[in-house]
Amino acid sequence: MREYLDKIRAGQPINYEAFLKRLPAAVRARQRRLFRSERVAPNRWRVQVLDEGAFAELEAWAAPARDRTEAAAKGDSHRSRTRHTFLLVYHEQRPSGRPDTLVLSETAVDCGFEPKRQVLVVENEDNFFAFRTMLAFAAREAVPGLDLSNCDVVLGGGKRVTRRSCLDWLDRYERVYCALDYDAGGLEIFATIRTHLGDKAGYLQPRDWSAWYHRFRRTPARTARFARAIRLAEDLGFDSLARAFRATGKFMEQEMILDERPAGDS
């Protein structure tokens, strides 16, 4: 929204129909009294502001909120991230049962344990609570000897782990192994982590993907997402995973690591 408003203010053409869809409903209902549009190219309109006061209010509404309280006052608390977040962690001092809780804010960390030099970030909850199976998978397929004596296990919770405070925390580790879904979403999360953490971040995957082809079961919802997954895998250097996508035409969810059934069973 800010980009659209800035371009209107500068007299630059915009996609007016897309702009209208982003307006608050109350503003969209009276848009003809606020703006006059002139088409100058396909999907491009130059917009004249008719009500400067209303436009200034719209600019103030679109400005980034300082926190969720201010965002809520603007009508949508989700426009701002929370000041605090948390991560669930299994570690050597908490080896089973209820995981430990790590509380993070922009300025402080509340951690009741001494982190190891390595950490395994697990995206999905069932896999996290089966952390011993995940550590065994990692030790067998990628990192020999990995266990709670030398590695903490963190619940990533989808995109929670890509929050800046979480990434800053993970940056304290020497190695960050990422157990994510083998699809476009998982690769996007890993790309974000890699951008922040660099080469210390690794994508946990089998040495030989061909033995796992029968576990690729989820059909991509859209062709574009499937193509994006292949492109991301290749861009990240995961050529064998890209071949697995092409060979199966499907994605693999990480819960399949917990599946003990042999190939051919469904």
- Residue 95's closest CA among 123, 132, 127, 45? 132
* CB proximity list for 94: less than 8 A, separation 6 or greater: 100, 113
CA 137 to chain centroid: 23
pLDDT of the residue at 75: 52
Residue spans of the domains in the chain: they are: 2-78, 84-258
> Percentage of the chain surpassing pLDDT 90?
59
* CB proximity list for 208: less than 8 A, separation 6 or greater: 240
Contact 123, 181 (CB under 8 A): yes
Whether the pLDDT of residue 80 is over 60: the answer is no
pLDDT of the residue at 107: 66
Tens of pLDDT, residue by residue over 1-43, are 788 899 988 999 999 988 988 888 888 888 888 999 999 998 8
The answer to pTM > 0.75 is no
Tens of pLDDT, residue by residue over 56-70, are 888 888 876 554 444
Give the residue-averaged pLDDT of 73-96. Answer: 69
For domain 84-258, give the fold. Answer: Dna Topoisomerase Vi A Subunit; Chain: A, domain 2 (3.40.1360)
Give the residue-averaged pLDDT of 233-239. Answer: 95
Name the CA dihedral angle for 157, 163, 223, 21, rounded to a multiple of 10 degrees: 120
Joined tokens for residue 259: 């599946």
Give the residue-averaged pLDDT of 48-77. Answer: 69
> Percentage of the chain surpassing pLDDT 70?
88
Tens of pLDDT, residue by residue over 142-179, are 999 999 999 999 998 877 888 888 899 999 999 999 99
